[in-house]
Structure 1
Amino acid sequence: MTDYDVLMVGAGHNGLVCAHALAKSGRKVLMLEAGDVAGGCAATREFAPGFSVSSCAQWLTQLSPRVMDSMSLVDHGLQFAARDLASVSLAEDGDHLVLRGAKLEGANISAEDQLAYEDFSARMMRFTKILAKAFSTRAPKLVESNFADRLTLIKLGLGLKLLGKNDMNDLMRIILINMYDVMEENFDHPRLKALLSLDGMLGSHMGPRSPNTVFGYLYRRVGNLFGYDGPAQLRGGMGALADAMVASCKAAGVEIRCGEAVASIDSEAGQVIGVTLASGEQFSGKLVVSNVDPVTTFQHLVGYRNLETGVVRSVSNIRNKSGTAKLHLALSGLPSFAGLSAELTGHRLVIAPDMNYAERAFNAVKYSEYSKEPVMDISIPTVNDPGLAPDGQHVISAIVQFAPHEPEGGWDGHRQAFTDIVLDLLERYAPGIRGLVTASELLTPQDLEKEFGMTGGHWHHGELSLDQVMMMRPFHGANQYSTPVNGLYLCGAGSHPGGGVMGLAGLNAANEIIKRVGAA
């Protein structure tokens, strides 16, 4: 039995951010990670001999500059392979639509749509500024609030008021509807509408017509305020972020042990006393911080038998279905997308011809089926970072929407069929690509759940919907990083503000712990 001030369960990027801040405050911190390496969804691994890929998250779009600066990530080796990439909505005939910042190119985009998008983008950024302020601190409670919570609510209210009457009314109106309707109100071009609506549903169990997709879009746009005018790609893949964070944590004195699965978070009379590993080894500590998702934390590690009925009900009601799969391809050469310039090949490539196409793709997963014509968010990372593959060869990493957690009969009988569907779709846009494929890997939501330890395979650890964000995340009673178990805190994507490689859940949790517990 070894004593530590803080025991961290899981070493995903939010956990690393939290551990670093707690160690800098003078605490003795031990991180326990079940996987072979730290980083969680920020991971790079070899999926075929000589071919490496960002195995879960593939674009950096939201990492907070506060996290970058506090952990000195650049000093610890973090490098960008490319920044401010364009989003390209692919067309089979080669007349692609290109979105660069607030500018649109190609696809016979009209002057009216261009002006409308510039206005729309500016308006969305005004709305996003309010979210960014809310994300920078703990979510305020609406009842039993203290002075800090009241001050946060006052600032949020003031931010709304400063929008002006028209913008405030518009925000209150659209936040409750869906991207399909908002797109129809603002634009004419079908691929522009589909491209923007994708950003509202990516990684979720929602289609363009689903409520909460406007919030999802605004959530993603927070990254613009953090300095990302389009997706960024890290040199060495997303695992390079984990490597820099690990180096920063170790420099701060954090002890990290990988390959050590926590079997239980131990408590007595509602008070945390430590953790027990799957090996039977025990560690004592007055504080335990969980970076894993809330369902895993409470159901499997704390144990429902140690929680009140109301808490168990709240945990059981968290919606965390995923509709997202990942496809990785090793290619003997660079694919040629019809009409796509060499300059754009390394940018974000999207297959979503129109919103009805995207909605039909979503319809399938509602019935535990996979899409016969899926939506895809495609990266060819080796264009910007050749070291991920052998000389002259390439990697494709694609987010594929939609795939169920478990189709009828299980994935063993469907894996190749779904892979073939995706490859056939790619062939329509990049003729000859099938002949370049030397290896492939499909990660279903079930695979993502198993590999990254996130219930349902949901990378946000719970849907980003208005009833599961801010002061409702993950549920009432655990919405300010503390939990009904004294001494147990949450710091992962299931906490405020949510998932994506942002880091604020971890940083906010550390600040809250330091505030509550006091100086070390």
Structure 2
Amino acid sequence: MPMSSCDAIIIGGGVNGLACARRLAAKGRKVLVLEAGAQPGGGAGSTEFHPGFTAPALAHLTQGLDPRLAGAVPVGFHAPLATVIIGEKGPLRVQGGVAEGPDAAAWAVLHARLTRFAQALAPFRRLSPPLLGKGNDWLPLLKNLWGVKGLGRDDLRELMRMILINVHDVGEDELGDDRLRGLLSFDATLGAWLGPRSPNSLILYLDRLARGPDPLLPKGGMAALAGELAKGLEVRANARVEAIVIEGDRAVGVRLAGGEEIRAPLVVSAINPRTTFRDLVGARHLDAGFQSSVGHIRMRGGAAKLHLALDGLPDLPDSKARIVLAPSSHAVETAFNPVKYGEVPERPVMEFILPSAHEPGLAPEGQHVLSAIVQFAPHAPKAGLETARAQMLENSLRVLDGAIPGLRAKILHAELLMPQDIEARFGLVGGNWHHGELAVEQMLFNRPLHGADRYASPVPGLWLAGAGAHPGGGIEGAAGWNAAEAILGARA
């Protein structure tokens, strides 16, 4: 007998699903969140990868929550993390627009200019893409375009020039220190399937900067963030949705893997759009052209996740900083090139933190957890998954030990997740944590695809609220909140 006791079902208890649920609940809707995993958060959860050692499951930092979500949920954060880049000339510390070294003034000027551009573009993240041909839909967009115009003629001309070029050229033109060039290129391409020389790569750096100048770590760790967002909501864990129930061409509920049906007048998917349409809805309920377009959404993940259990504190310039091992823009590009052909880079680039330096309870006393995101990793390795994983781990450890002498001797246990592992563990198709590559041709009107770019799907009663929708992922909740606003506006 189907259960029907809620106004809306949210599929997926990640940050976007929880953000959508909180907004709908605040407006009086009774919401049920269904999470396939054992805890809410998805990639923003935690994992005990070795007895006594707990690491962030996938994401280990955020650039900050969407301001609307942050205003609704009292989430605490540690002080913004400084970044230390380790290159051939040693470590270099950066925080926001302040950098050490001979290029400090050049970095300050460039960072200030890019921050102005990012802040002018930031309001677009909170808008539903306008409906082409519908005049009133363009009013919010035009207001924000006026804000961009407020940059001034020179800045506006410079924004239009820079938004179309690659981040490598910006670094070459504006900076002299290879370490700062490497940081700029690394941050622009983190989680993306492109290198610093790829066209339009600078826009991804602006997208990152629009969310905040420095990375943040929630107090209690990433899992605590999801726990705080889930407070007051009805969340069912270990509840994998097998199908979206369609009756009369309308979504009326879901069926769980165990056969249980739950009915609601509104179904919201905060998981991957391809999984939503191909696996949960099914081709027979979709137009053939739309179904074909779903298959063309690019979802290549290019990052691996590394967890290390350490017997003691490694010799770091700052144990509470984000450490970036990307000694130059060329090093980032060189790490990307082999991945395009299914091969593992000899010298991957990466960022890592010691979560246990902020939260001692994550490791036994005197020991530590290292969490790293390693770029780049092939999502379909030619050598096979097991061989590629072993090679990727060895290459990553060699790079780490070269930058932090003695680190390897402290390793008690190592776990490395390739993009295929990330897909299997978190349901992220291709291992892409944005639920679809974040690239200029898959943004705004084209996210995730035409016909589902305004959170409503072609199936009445079914909406999208995950990172695959505008403006993408990033552990901030903007897509989920935007979706809730679109739902509330449509049902007002």
Fold in common (TM above 0.5)? yes
Aligned position for 1:238: 222
Aligned-residue offset at 1:314: 1.8
Match in the other structure for 2:207: 219
Query: Which moved further from structure 2: 10-19 or 58-67?
Result: 58-67
CA contact (8 A) 2:308 2:414 kept: yes
User: SS state of the match for residue 265, structure 1?
Assistant: strand
- Work out the CA distance in 2 between the residues paired with 1:479 and 1:130: 22
Q: Residues 429-440 of structure 1: matches in 2 within 5 Å?
A: 429-440=403-414
The one-letter amino acid paired with 1:85 is: L
- The Cα shift of 1:409 comes to 4.1
Instruction: Give RMSD over aligned pairs.
Output: 1.4
Whole-angstrom CA distance in 1 between matches of 2:459 and 2:383: 39
Within 5 Å, give how 1:501-512 maps onto structure 2.
Answer: 501-512=475-486
Using the alignment, how far apart are the partners of 1:326 and 1:33 within structure 2?
22
Amino acid at match of 1:96: P
Question: Where do 1:325-364 residues align within 5 Å?
Answer: 325-337=304-316, 340=317, 344-364=318-338
Distance 2:64 2:455 in 1: 21
Displacement, 1:212? 2.6
1:405 alignment partner in structure 2: 379
Check conservation: 2:88, 2:327, Cα contact below 8 A.
Answer: no
The answer to whether residue 118 in structure 2 is matched with residue 128 in structure 1 is: yes
CA contact (8 A) 1:92 1:428 kept: no
Q: Tell me if structure 2 keeps the 8 A contact 1:83–1:230.
A: no
- Does residue 101 (structure 1) correspond to residue 96 (structure 2)? The answer is yes
1:52 shift after superposition: 0.6
Residues 264-275 of structure 1 correspond to what in structure 2 (within 5 A)? 264-275=243-254
Q: 2 CA distance for matches of 1:92 and 1:181?
A: 21
* Pairing of 1:228-377 with structure 2 (within 5 A): 229-247=213-231, 250=232, 254-337=233-316, 340=317, 344-377=318-351
**Partners in 2 of 1:30 and 1:100 — Cα distance?**
40
TM-score by length of 2: 0.97
Which stretch of structure 1 is more off in the superposition, 490-499 or 157-166? 157-166
Report deviation, 1:146: 4.2
- Please list every run of 5 or more consecutive structure 2 residues that lacks an aligned counterpart in the other structure: none
Superposition map of 1:183-202 within 5 A: 183-202=171-190
Whole-angstrom distance in 2 between the partners of 1:452 and 1:146: 40
Q: Which runs of 4+ in 1 moved over 6 A?
A: none
Contact 1:329 1:395 in 2 (8 A): yes
Asked if residue 17 in structure 1 is aligned to residue 19 in structure 2, the reply is: yes
After TM superposition, the structure 1 = structure 2 runs for residues 197-208 of structure 1, keeping only pairs within 5 Å, are 197-208=185-196
Cα distance in 1 for residues equivalent to 2:404 and 2:116: 38
In structure 1, what residue type is equivalent to 2:324?
V
1:394 CA drift (Å)? 0.5
Q: After TM superposition, give the deviation of residue 323 of structure 1 in Å.
A: 0.7
> Could you list the per-position Cα deviations for residues 408-447 of structure 1 after superposition, in whole angstroms to 9, with x for gaps in the alignment?
2421223222211111111111111111100111011111
Partner of 2:86: 90
Residue 484 of structure 1 corresponds to 458
Task: Indicate the SS of the match to 2:28.
Answer: coil
Structure 2: how far apart are the matches of 1:392 and 1:503? 35
**What is the CA distance between 1:304 and its match in structure 2?**
2.0
Q: How does 1:62-211 map to 2 (within 5 A)?
A: 62-70=64-72, 72-74=73-75, 79-80=76-77, 82-91=78-87, 95-105=90-100, 109-110=101-102, 113-141=103-131, 143-147=132-136, 149-211=137-199
Pair 436,116 (structure 1): closer, same or farther in 2 beyond 3 Å: same
Is the partner of 2:282 in helix, strand or coil? helix
Structure 1 unmatched runs, 5+: none
* Structure 2 residue identity aligned to 1:125: T
Q: Conserved in 2, the CA contact under 8 Å of 1:348 and 1:377?
A: yes
What residue in structure 1 maps to residue 429 of structure 2? 455
| Secondary structure class of the residue paired with 1:188 | coil
- Asked if the contact 2:121–2:148 (Cα under 8 Å) also holds between the matched residues in 1, the reply is no
**CA–CA separation in structure 1 for the residues paired with 2:219 and 2:51:** 19
Deviation of 1:450 after TM superposition, in Å, equals: 1.3
Query: Helix, strand or coil for the counterpart of 1:154?
Result: helix
Q: How many residues align?
A: 490
With structure 1 as the length reference, what TM-score do the two structures score? 0.92
- Tell me if the contact between 1:103 and 1:118 (Cα under 8 Å) persists in the aligned partners: yes
